[in-house]
A and B are shown apart, each in its own frame.
Chain A
Amino acid sequence: MTEARVSSEFANALASGRERYNAAFARARHQYGELDPEAFTAYLRELVDPLVVAAARVEGADLVRVTDSAYEVGLSLLGQNLIGPRAREHHIEGCLALLLVPYVQVVVKAPSTVLAALGNATHHLARTPGARPEFFRAELLRLAPEVRDVDTLLALGQVTAWRAGLSHYRAGALARLAEAGEAFGRAALGLAPTSDYSAVLARLTQDPWFDPTSERISAPVWVGAFRGFGGLFVEPPRVTTSQGQLLVRSERDHFLLIADAFGATFHRATDEEISAAAGFSNGEKNAISERVAPRGRGTVTSIAHCEHTTALSFSHSHALLLHPKGVG
């Protein structure tokens, strides 16, 4: 492994476990098949070296432990083509490059936990159509000076990932907000100092279409797309309800749709959810559907209502139109 052109702190940490590191690389190469040494060296130099240098300035930091964790995470990421030249996207590298140094005080306390948490969270965001990994890392960067412990970072990440589009984590994120108190909640939600936090939290809990950082009333949103354009649907979907939730069918695939002001996520429906579904009707003509049906999307093929949302599908569209209830 090349150790040139890295800081002396990192070089020393690598030298202290040279045999272990080399053996670990060899084992990872066996496990994952090909493993590009150049790409791994680039990872070490560009991501780990600055982290170790920053960690060296933290009193009591165990640089070998930090190096061990970052080394192992790097092998795992590269082995699975989640970073490096073969990666389909580079959000994980972007997240780690942006956040590791600002969060060094937290990283040194539990390097493996923090590295894996940031990597896995970004991975989920990057793989979820419509989610915003850039927003996730930008928000975490904004709040870095206020975070001093691992638990706070993890809770903050959960709330931020929800706000970045992982709407199915809404209940869990709200629970974190309720547990963590007002200071954390204000920071995590990016609220203005003048806002009434209790009222915001209460409304967030009651109304999934409420965005406390936006003055605008939630407008109808399009969700879902043709599989050829990175979506899930092979043919124009239809929508119905199952156990009070929205269920979508496209060809033979069924998905549970969870949506709120921050995003919409699709999840493979279970057999129970499919069997509990109401029929996928040909469309219920009513005032809303007549008014909102946009030009060029064809006729409304199905309509479904759940507690806070009305969903419509169209004969010429692979997307669904979601209307916050009470709107329009």
Chain B
Amino acid sequence: MAFGNLFKKLSSAPTNPHGQTGPRTFDVADLYRGPLLATAETEPGALPLDEKLRQAYFWIVNTAIISPHYDVEYNEAPPQEYVVGDTRGKLTLPSAQSYSSFVLLPLLTFATRRKCLMVGGPGRGKTASAVLMGVLAGYSLREVRRGMQHGHPQMTIADLLGNPLPADLVSAQRMEDIRVSWRSWLDMRVKIIDEYNRIPTRTQSALLTVMGDNYAEVLDHVHECADAAWFLTANDDQGGGTYQVIEALRDRIDVVVKALAFNPRFLGDLLTRIEENVRPEEVVPRQIVFTEAELERMVVEIRTLTLPVEVRRRIEFFSSQFELCEVAGTQFEYRTKDTARLAGVEWSQLTAQDTGRDRLKDLGAQTKNGLSVRALMTLIHYAKAIAYFRGNRAVELDDVRQVLPFVLHDKLVPDLEAPFFEAPGNAAFRTDRIGWLRHLFDQSAAEYDRLNLDRDDPVARLAEEFKRGLEGLSERDARARLSEIQRAIAKLVQGKKLYGHLYDDLLQLKYLHQRYTNYLRWVSTQG
């Protein structure tokens, strides 16, 4: 049992209360609230898991990790803002409960069993934070520390995954006779790879198999691993370190979160730690430790949250901005940045040809690539997770806005030569990728509003009509719909420049046209 209220006090539930109205009442349960804390015997499952997750967050942020940064900002009313310094930067005081990304994103990763990379200079609490996640999953500190993989330049595949038994190596006649002693971390529900960018490239490939496909392979023997939340740390954001991180491995990472600088105003807290010889990971309150069943249940509960159509449409609109590269292909479908990338063409050569559009207005001009399906899936997972964490049953647009920069941090590559970054006031976006991505999403949302797509979206209407099914649709009606699609295309392309969202709309209409065409052909053969 851990002692000392100083380090074990949990925030009282509800941690994210809604306002109450009505006459004052006295709750008899208050009789047992007072100077003494009774926190040790909360029954497992007594609290909703989202509440437990919030309690874990507040315990970590208030007690374990001295993290005064509240960079995930929510507002219920217009926030108070102050303009500071010559660069006229803004200090915002959020009007609603806001969060520290360095704690929140790892916790959401823990709750969704995904993969989080923590980057930042040495000694900023990256590894400590990862260890806490292991303790929250119910492992002892010793187990977590033993299970943690420390990247180093001599790390072999056997170091990472396990060794064949020496006796079998000598006596075995067939590969299948060689038994492998698998490393215990492979079966842990929280997997920690410390300084992953110091792992040699070949070992990184083995790690990729575990991260991507959830199995390990040594000498033709396969070990299926447990589903887990992954926490990787790196001192270098750019994947540098001793070895270049292979792109596929970087692509498997779902979110990137930065350990921000320590505020010396909190030195007193550090002093207390030293004097009291307390390590937060050793005094994690029992009530915020999740059982395996709770973790399973939490993943399911998060998945069942609703993503409203209005929010989904804005994600679609945002993600459609980036893939188009008009000069990359002649056939419509191949006019993408991916086509250009696979062809190995110089990026500057391509952008030089791209004339006609307003490259300052075109959001796609700010990036060198588009969004992958994996990135979009991850974005939805984390948007649901943060909504769940906030105690909501449906995702809000603000949830997407808050998690998007961390999800796309390594996914959307900025074109730092783009006119946007040259514009006055935008230079800081070259270095602040989180700020840039949030700004990008805000610009996309503003454009969505300007186009009035919430109320007038003919492509969505046609897609919705198609979704209702073709069964019983007459030949006459199918032809009418085809004509409607053609009219919609003609209207969309009339005198307009081709932007990313328009490109995707046209491809969608082409898809619908093709489906109706095929249906029409089938109907006509039915006599």
Contacts and interface: CB of A to CB of B under 8 A. Distances in A.
B471 interface: no
Contacts of A157: 31-32
Given A169-B28, A256-B24, A273-B24, A72 B3 contact: yes
A172 B26 contact: yes
Interface string A191-214: 000000000000000000000000
A248 to B, nearest CB: 15
Nearest to A72: B3
Contact of B36 (A27, A73, A171, A243): A73
Contacts of B495: none
Contact of A120 (B5, B6, B7, B35): B35
Nearest to B38: A116
A112 interface: yes
B32 A121 contact: yes
Contacts of A176: 28
Interface stretch (B148-156, B271-279, B315-323, B436-444): B271-279
B31 A23 contact: no
A112 B40 contact: yes
Interface in B21-72: 23-41
Given A27-B7, A158-B28, A117 B38 contact: yes
B229 to A, nearest CB: 29
B7 A112 contact: no
B472 interface: no
B36 A77 contact: yes
B36 A76 contact: yes
A123 B187 CA distance: 49
Contacts of B277: 23
Given A30-B276, A168-B26, A161 B31 contact: yes
B3 A20 contact: yes
A115 interface: yes
A28 B2 CA distance: 12
Contacts of A112: 38-41
B4 interface: yes
Interface string A104-130: 000000111101110111011000000
A154 B3 contact: no
Contacts of B32: 116-117, 120-121, 154, 157
B293 interface: no
Nearest to A116: B38
Interface string A268-296: 00100100000000000000000000000
Q: Which interface residue of B3, B6, B27, B31 has the most chain A CB atoms within 10 A?
A: B31
A260 B33 CA distance: 23
Contacts of A117: 31-32, 38
A30 B31 contact: no
Main DSSP-derived SS at the A contact region: helix
B77 interface: no
Contacts of A217: none
Interface in B1-20: 1, 3-7
Nearest to B33: A120
Contact of A123 (B26, B35, B40): B35
Given A24-B4, A26-B276, A28-B4, A172 B27 contact: yes
Contacts of B41: 110-113
A116 B278 contact: no
A55 to B, nearest CB: 15
Given A31-B5, A76-B5, A116 B24 contact: no
Contacts of A20: 1, 3
A27 B276 contact: yes
A162 B28 contact: yes
Nearest to B37: A116
A115 B38 contact: yes
Size class of A's contact patch? 35 or more
A308 interface: no
A27 B278 contact: yes
Given A76-B5, A112-B41, A124 B34 contact: yes
A175 interface: yes
Interface in B132-182: none
B518 to A, nearest CB: 65
A44 to B, nearest CB: 14
A68 interface: yes
Interface string A258-274: 10000000010010010
B221 to A, nearest CB: 43
A23 B6 CA distance: 13
Contacts of B28: 158, 162, 169, 171-173, 175-176
Contacts of A73: 36
A75 B275 CA distance: 18
Given A30-B275, A121-B32, A171 B25 contact: yes
Interface in B269-326: 272, 275-278
A258 B3 CA distance: 39
Contacts of B36: 73, 76-77, 115-116, 119-120, 123
Nearest to B28: A172
B38 A76 contact: no
A163 to B, nearest CB: 12
A166 interface: yes
A112 B7 CA distance: 17
Contacts of A75: 3
Nearest to B39: A112
Contacts of A115: 36, 38
A273 B23 CA distance: 9
Contacts of B6: 27, 30-31
A27 B31 contact: no
A111 B38 CA distance: 9
Interface string A15-48: 0000011011011101100000000000000000
Contacts of A80: 35
B399 to A, nearest CB: 34
A275 B211 CA distance: 63
16 contacts: A27-B6, A30-B6, A75-B3, A76-B5, A76-B37, A77-B36, A112-B40, A113-B38, A116-B37, A120-B34, A123-B34, A154-B32, A166-B31, A173-B28, A258-B26, A273-B24
Interface of A: 20-21, 23-24, 26-28, 30-31, 64-65, 68-69, 71-73, 75-77, 80, 82, 110-113, 115-117, 119-121, 123-124, 154, 157-158, 161-162, 166, 168-169, 171-173, 175-176, 243, 256, 258, 267, 270, 273
* Top 8 A-B residue pairs of the complex, sorted by shortest distance between their CB atoms: A172-B28, A24-B3, A120-B34, A116-B38, A112-B40, A116-B36, A27-B4, A68-B1
Given A30-B276, A69-B40, A72-B1, 15 more contacts: A27-B3, A28-B3, A111-B41, A113-B40, A115-B38, A116-B32, A119-B34, A120-B32, A120-B34, A121-B34, A154-B32, A158-B28, A158-B31, A162-B28, A176-B28
